[in-house]
Amino acid sequence: MRAWIRRALTRARWVQGPHAKKLVRLEEPPPERLVLAVQFCMVAVAGLFAVEIVSMVVLKAWNGEVFAAITGLIGTITGVFLGHGT
């Protein structure tokens, strides 16, 4: 999963190479802390989904607090992917 996150967050840009007419693709990998933070958020979302499902099966009720935490983490992950691309 870490390799997929790293690949998704890697910036690629085209720069003029040593020869005037040739363009070279330069890749800038994301910081390792960012990759680990996104991985932690994804694992946390999966865990919270499991807690929500168990809550619905056992208590037969929707838990709004767990859903709010899931929504917040999904917003964080989306913000990282959208914000890092610029």
pLDDT greater than 90 at residue 65: yes
pLDDT at 15: 85
Q: Could you tell me the pLDDT band of residue 85, with boundaries at 50, 70 and 90?
A: low
Domain parsing of the chain, residue ranges: 2-84
* Residue 23: predicted pLDDT: 85
Cα–Cα distance between 79 and 44 in angstroms, integer? 16
Instruction: Give residue-wise pLDDT tens across range 18-55.
Output: 777 788 888 999 999 999 999 999 999 999 999 999 99
**Percent of all residues in the chain with a pLDDT value above 70, rounded to a whole number:** 97
